[in-house]
A and B are shown apart, each in its own frame.
Chain A
Amino acid sequence: MLSIWIQNAVSGVAIGLLYGLIGLGVVLFFQTTNLLNFAHISSAMLGAYLCYMFNVTLHLPFVLAMVLAIILVACYGLLLKRFVYEPLAKREGGRLEFIIATMMLSVFLLNAVIVLWGGVPKPFPNVFGDPAKPLIIGSVAIQTHSLWVLGYVTVFVIALQSFFTKTMTGKSLRAVAQNQGAARLMGIDVEKMLTISFMLSTGITALAGILLAPAYFVSLDLGGGIIGIKGFAAAVVGRMNKPYVALLGGVLIGLAENFVVLYASSVYRDVITFAFLILFLVVRKKAEV
């Protein structure tokens, strides 16, 4: 029983880290723009599909494929700013308009991917380890892929935290998010900071998409599935302001899911998990920028 319990915890953390990974991007974007991008998860999908295309279809080395995919998605972030955010901002469109616009954008991108790659999920190469051959410690199986994700998020969260608190660009980004007018008066190049925000958050989410692909396959679930909602939930659990708490939020969701199955029922897994999340949101304090 103990080994089952530990295995459940390990598996819960592994899947939760993936939710947290998406949550991190949400927090990053919110922290730097004070906006919610509902097409956030689409960047993950685009990252995975582009990486798949470069690596599997065009036979480029994996690292090169990954870098190209991230650069292209970051460029898409630039277009998102230029053609969605800027026109809205010019016409004094607020956060609500941006949310609605990005919601529609996510549907558009989902359908664009269907047109370009079809609806059939594609297997992602086993670059992060063969899932059928996990690391066995005692009687507990740990996927090497989960270790990659853990390694990445650890480095990333530390880097992100220092970036926001220690570097001038990071501080400027936060200042722009808090008050664009004041930031401009302080001599911060707001346009440049916003461009960095859009490119950074989409590029980082593209990398998350590539890390998710071994578990999620190169599939539409990456761009339109429940992972997006769970990522947002993780970010909100993290109160939208602390990347590492968003990550813990994701892990919490992953653990809740697995233990609901163990102690209650798999049929009610999402019902119980989401009821728990709603309760959490009701009692939590207000999100801060």
Chain B
Amino acid sequence: MIRRRLIIGILAVALLSVTFVASAAATFKIALVAPFTGSGSILGEYIKNALVLAVDEINAAGGVKGRKIEYVIYDDAASPATALNVVNKAILNDQVDAMFGPNMSSCVLAVNQIAKDNKVPMLVGATSPSFGYDMIGNDYLFRLRADDEVKVVNLVKYAVEVLKLKKPAIIHGSTDYCVVAKNVAVDSFKKYGINTVAIEQVKEGDKDAAGQLLKIKQANPDMLIGLTHEPEAAVVIKQFRSFGFGNVTVLGFTAWGVPAFTDLAGSAADGVISVQGFTPEYKDAKVQEFVAKYKAKWNSMPSDPAQAYYDGVYLLKSVVEKVGFNRTDIMKGLTQVKNFPGVQGSLTCDAKHNFTNFSLISKYKGGVWDIITAIF
């Protein structure tokens, strides 16, 4: 009797397992690894909202190749060590088919080897040139936004060629995002024969940049290049305005062109020129359609890098529809993406595994971004 019950029990468990495997196999599983706490926490919500929006839309329309997309979300706390833990979990425990994020370059560098070893395609919104395909050669790593080198070069070009400025001072953060941007900026100015008159650092979490700004003031620059994250950008610009810098033009990196910065800085942000990966004000049909959908679902406005992850999910869907669910095939399919219509314009995988060079140069005035030029 006991044996019979045991056999029935084992059979029941086996049956359940089969059902479970069958239901697991019926989905296309992706992981999102983004910062919801820590220094990059500002970005987590935007990224998650955009990804969930795209997944829900795709699932409502029948999924991808008959399978629903299932997602798991992990917080990497913008920390490479945490990113390593959660990516291990996503790849080894959850056995995801593809991964979105991390969004911080330092985290991408920390985890790219696991993704490579386990052949999991990684689509990231991180923008440091330091993990481009030309630098680390990970076949499975792809970038969904323009890399920082392109953006900084464009910002410097605008400052020198259009604004005719000649004496740059730089204030930068201490993360990979900021330091790489600083190096690119210094080199780009050098190519114009311009030396940077002052370079100062403000650490992430610092709420006082008075010492740095006063030192910069002594160097008498005609432009301040801000290469920091959003909260430090707000601290810098508020103190900058209070120290009477006169006619010094402020040009900021991508973090200086998002609401997370302008909300904190308030009127002090007026007059800042920024290079942006995205702005909801951009009058492009695709952008406006995305903004409307995002707003309808989340009752808030999207911000960079939301558009990149929204594009990413659709991009992945189009590749899976072409090549199927094999991860290596997906990787190969991603390298062959050409002229895919995204929110960020036409997306094509280039030699660095970047899908886009899209950026905007805009000026903040009276609470809105006035777009000066779009660069593709």
Contacts and interface: CB of A to CB of B under 8 A. Distances in A.
Interface of A: 1, 4, 7-8, 11-12, 14-15, 110-111, 114, 118-123, 126, 130-134, 136, 139, 141, 143, 215-217, 219-221, 225-227, 254, 257-262, 265-267, 269-270
A266 B208 contact: no
B315 interface: no
Given A118-B45, A120-B260, A132-B268, A220 B211 contact: no
Contacts of B200: 261, 266
Q: Which of A4, A12, A14 has the most CB of B within 10 A?
A: A4
Given A120-B45, A261-B215, A217 B210 contact: no
Given A217-B234, A221-B205, A261-B200, A120 B210 contact: no
Nearest to B230: A121
Q: Which of A131, A260, A262, A270 has the most CB of B within 10 A?
A: A131
B241 interface: yes
B37 A134 contact: no
Given A114-B37, A134-B242, A266-B201, A260 B45 contact: no
B264 A217 contact: yes
3 closest residue pairs by CB, A with B: A119-B41, A261-B211, A11-B210
A266 B211 contact: yes
A262 B42 contact: no
A4 to B, nearest CB: 5
24 contacts: A7-B210, A7-B214, A7-B243, A8-B214, A11-B211, A12-B211, A15-B208, A120-B260, A121-B264, A122-B264, A126-B266, A130-B267, A131-B239, A131-B241, A131-B242, A132-B241, A132-B266, A132-B267, A141-B242, A215-B235, A257-B208, A257-B211, A269-B201, A270-B203
Interface residues of B, number: 40
Given A8-B211, A261-B211, 8 more contacts: A4-B218, A123-B263, A132-B241, A139-B244, A141-B243, A258-B208, A262-B214, A266-B201
B226 to A, nearest CB: 14
Interface in B177-228: 200-203, 205-208, 210-212, 214-215, 217-218
Nearest to B42: A120
Contacts of B238: 131-132
Given A111-B37, A269-B203, A123 B45 contact: no
Contacts of B267: 130, 132
Contacts of B212: 261, 266
A220 B41 contact: yes
B41 A114 contact: yes
A260 B35 CA distance: 32
Contacts of A219: 231
Given A114-B41, A221-B205, A266 B234 contact: no
Contacts, number: 117
A220 B202 CA distance: 18
Nearest to A124: B264
B211 A120 contact: no
A284 B246 CA distance: 45
B104 to A, nearest CB: 13
Nearest to B244: A141
A12 B210 contact: yes
B215 A266 contact: yes
B82 to A, nearest CB: 13
Given A132-B238, A219-B231, A226 B264 contact: no
Contacts of A221: 205, 207, 231
B268 A131 contact: yes
Q: Which of B211, B266, B268 has the most CB of A within 10 A?
A: B211
B215 A119 contact: no
Contact of A220 (B37, B45, B239, B264): B37
B36 interface: yes
B257 interface: no
Contact of B242 (A15, A143, A220): A143
B44 interface: yes
Nearest to B262: A123
B207 A215 contact: yes
Contacts of A15: 207-208, 210
Q: Which of B44, B201, B210, B212 has the most CB of A within 10 A?
A: B210
B34 to A, nearest CB: 11
A195 to B, nearest CB: 33
A4 B214 contact: yes
Contacts of A270: 203
Nearest to A270: B203
A159 B35 CA distance: 43
Interface in B39-78: 41-42, 44-45
Contact of B210 (A8, A220, A260): A8
Nearest to B36: A119
Contact of B41 (A120, A133, A134, A226): A120
A119 B210 contact: no
